[in-house]
Amino acid sequence: MKTTTTSVAALAATGLLASALALSADPATPERIAMSASGDEAANWLTVHGNYSSHRFSELNGITPDNVGDLRLAFAVPLGGTEPSAFGAGAMETTPLVKDGKMYVSDPWGTPYKIDVSSGKMGQIEWICDTAIDKDPSLGIIVANRGLALSGDLVVSNLPDGRVVACDDASGDIVWEKQTATEPGEGFSGAPLAVGDKIIVGQSFGDWATRGWIAALDAATGDEVWRFYTVPEPGQPGSETWLCEESGNPDCWKTGGAAAWVTGSYDPESNTLIYGTGNPVPMFDPEYRPGDNLYSNSAVALDADTGELKWHFQYTPGDYLDYDEVGSHLLIDQEIDGEMRKVVAHFGRNGIFYNLDRSNGSFINSGQYVEQLNWTPGIDPKTGKPVNYDPNASLQAYAEDVTMRRDGGPIENCPHLQGGINFWPTAYNPQTGQAFGHSIEGCSELSVVPVAAEDVITGTIFTGGSNADSGEMDGSILRVNAATGEVDQKVIREYPGYAGVMLTPGIVWVGEMDGTFGAYDADSLEQLWSMNTGGVYKAPAMTYSVDGKQYVAITAGPLGLGSFGHPEIEQTQAANMLYVFSL
Amino acid sequence: MKATRTLATAAALAMTVFAGGALAQDSASDAEFVPENYDMDRGKEVYERVGVCLQCHGWDGAGMGRNPRSVGTAPNLREFPDDAQLLHEIIACGRPYTEMPYHDRNAYSDGRCYDMTMDDFEEGEKPSRGKSIREDDIDNLVAYMLTHMIGAGDTTFAQCEEFYGEGHRNCVPLEGR
């Protein structure tokens, strides 16, 4: 009996000790997240896009253009999640988070890992929050996960199977989990966003014949607080842009897509969320879903407390080239034409850089950033719409010979259907007013393959056409004057951009599909340093510091499908890795 | 221009393929191919996990499985000819000038497929290599396809539950079909 008593007492003591340790870790409060990657929080990267404005810029300046040549690999950590779905091994597209010497990173199936990086010599996995996700190799989904959210003492992941799971920061135990996405085909790819006492998530799998939405959950319980459907139902504002009756299928809006694949931005001053939305579905066959198809291919501004739509701007109405606009929306305060403006800036997948007014979504200016663009003769300088946009037409025809129709032939569209810049993040340096992107340069060949409404099965991929690359694609790293939208520096790279960029003072950080991770001079865009680690980079870098020393981290993984005409990289094997570099 | 030439070449080759006899193989070339003599459970496994055929053809062979990031459009195998030899040949040799890869690791090393080797193809038009499938497993796969896909008509809920298991969420949208 005595032994038992002693053991219980010992356990209790241990428990107390554990609690004390847990308490000693500072939670990710809203105040801390709002300061992420700057000021008192410059050592940390507390939200997926670096800060709420999605700048992916860190003030850390231990690594400079002068000393980056001495950068070396400090340590690496193998991660799991290489189990394939029917579409192959999932891509590593995640951005690690760092809080007080601990790193939080997800694998392609959304499984969170907490890694102690405080020694600077190795990454020690502290826990893996196993969500028991069914890694079913026959699931016809694209496995990809773009990161986690920290909220108080929770580490939150949204999964490809539609669940949202909150893990305890100290133990990795599951605190709550919710099957937030319940319809066939629904699931998540973009990182959740912690805003105040809420977790914002976006349903991602529009192309599986689903209807997109963005929802807010109570961070303490996971209970859903509000949901905004990116495709309105009949009778709601915007429903007049789905002319489903004309297609003979009045329900075409129900599989309309407009998915939220990527984490949005948050403007604390106006308590507004700004998310980009995906393409209308099916992507290549507008005759299935005549009309402008709101709120596809749009920026939507939502009240963070209620989910109410404040404004929207649709980049490419009635799209047929898969020019969705899920990518980063940069919140910028800048002088334009002599006037200080609060702006939303966005590198469109359609090859155009846009500036919008953050208070109402009105168009300010734009500039073409890709080398080849043939889908529109230009952008109307007043409205921001493609010049041949006809608000009264049920089917748009933006350019002769580049318009998709069931009775038309194959077309060649530039930029490539994946962009330009697709889901991978862009960045902005507020110290210089410069925006940076990592782009595909090239074209694709598309044709319509109509599918009858009765043959559309929710949860099954539904594109309404087929596609091929136009030969070998190039890529580019480029800089835009954010105020004018004009490209002022660009370097062409051998491999298409697919990973995105991160900025520190004077340096642009980019990973590439052939396994090259490089640091580029922010002025000349000349490569200052690089290392080839062999895996495929489809994720952007991030940076943090521990005990005053700066580190740069990035994850690499498999190619998956799509070598963009570069067969030499098709044999790259699936090995999910975290790499951390330092001087 | 390139696309046109490729399509023409593919069409010519397809005719050759359908004329039959391009491939000399022992097992499936017998006039009498009896699916029941092969391991169909293994065939399903090959379809799903070894060849990962469902990536392009879909679990039911309807050709709707294709990855939106991949190229090409897979044919509907449910409407494919009931021809064991042809199936075996296409799985082993692929269909050059289309996206259908070959699954015999040595398909184009010794002329066993269409009397061609890799050197017979121009740069950029070489057949693409899929997951390797062993000879016996190609027969098991052909047996599975002939029994569960070829000529199976429209996809049904029951077929889905047979593939994925009872109550699987993938089958919910097919209820009533």
Contact A461 B71 (CB under 8 A): no
> Could you give the CA distance from residue B72 to residue A409 in angstroms, rounded to a whole number?
15
State the nearest Cα–Cα gap between A239 and chain B, in angstroms: 24
> Could you give the CA distance from residue A181 to residue A204 in angstroms, rounded to a whole number?
10
Q: Tell me which chain B residues have a C-beta less than 8 angstroms from the C-beta of A139.
A: 170
Is B54 within 8 Å of chain A by CB? Answer: yes
Is A558 within 8 Å of chain B by CB? Answer: no
Does the pLDDT value for residue A5 go beyond 80?
A: no
> Could you give the CA distance from residue B21 to residue B25 in angstroms, rounded to a whole number?
9
Sign of the Cα torsion A157, A161, A163, A168 reads negative
Q: How far is CA B9 from CA B2, B12, B13, B16, B168, in A?
A: 11, 5, 6, 11, 42
> Could you give the CA distance from residue A540 to residue A425 in angstroms, rounded to a whole number?
7
Side by side, which strands form the sheet with A174-178?
A149-151, A154-158, A164-168, A174-178
Does the pLDDT value for residue A110 go beyond 80?
A: yes
DSSP β-bridge partners for residue A149: A156
Cβ within 8 Å of B, A 70-89: 84, 86-88
pLDDT in tens, A244-274: 999 999 999 999 999 999 999 999 999 999 9
Interface with A, mutate which of B1, B71, B123 (most A CBs under 10 A): B71
Does the pLDDT value for residue A487 go beyond 70?
A: yes
pLDDT in tens, A341-352: 999 999 999 999
Q: Tell me which chain B residues have a C-beta less than 8 angstroms from the C-beta of A185.
A: 173
User: What value of ipTM does the predicted structure carry?
Assistant: 0.73
Q: Tell me which chain B residues have a C-beta less than 8 angstroms from the C-beta of A458.
A: 173
Cβ within 8 Å of A, B 129-158: 155
Q: Tell me which chain A residues have a C-beta less than 8 angstroms from the C-beta of B69.
A: 87, 142, 418, 560-562
Is B3 within 8 Å of chain A by CB? Answer: yes
Contact B68 A88 (CB under 8 A): no
Pair type for strands A149-151 and A144-145: unpaired
> Could you give the CA distance from residue A192 to residue B97 in angstroms, rounded to a whole number?
43
Nearest-by-CA chain A residue for B52:
A86
Helix, strand, coil % in chain A, rounded to nearest 5: 10, 35, 55
Does the pLDDT value for residue A297 go beyond 50?
A: yes
Which of A386, A435, A381, A437 is closest to A413 using CA atoms? A386
Tell me the residue type at A216. Answer: A
Task: Collect the ranges in chain B with pLDDT lower than 70.
Answer: 1-31, 66-72
pLDDT in tens, A472-482: 999 999 999 99
What's the pLDDT score for residue A16? 43
Does the pLDDT value for residue A409 go beyond 90?
A: no
pLDDT in tens, A197-245: 999 999 999 999 999 999 999 999 999 999 999 999 999 999 999 999 9
Contact A138 B164 (CB under 8 A): yes
Average pLDDT, chain A: 94
What's the pLDDT score for residue A21? 45
Contact A457 B170 (CB under 8 A): no
Q: What are phi and psi of A569, to 5 degrees?
A: -100, 0
End-to-end Cα, chain B, rounded Å: 43
Share of chain A above pLDDT 90, in %: 89
Nearest-by-CA chain B residue for A210:
B173
Cβ within 8 Å of B, A 199-238: 207
Contact A562 B174 (CB under 8 A): no
Which of A128, A382, A461, A151 is closest to B66 using CA atoms? A461
Contact A466 B73 (CB under 8 A): yes
What's the pLDDT score for residue B68? 61
pLDDT in tens, A43-93: 999 999 999 999 999 999 999 999 999 999 999 999 999 998 888 899 999
What's the pLDDT score for residue B67? 63
- Nearest beta carbon to residue A562 from set B66, B69, B155: B69
Nearest-by-CA chain A residue for B64:
A461
What's the pLDDT score for residue A3? 44
Does the pLDDT value for residue A20 go beyond 50?
A: no
Find the helix packing angle between B84-93 and B135-148, rounded to 10°: 130
Query: Would you tell me how many other CB atoms lie within 10 Å of the CB of residue A163?
Result: 20
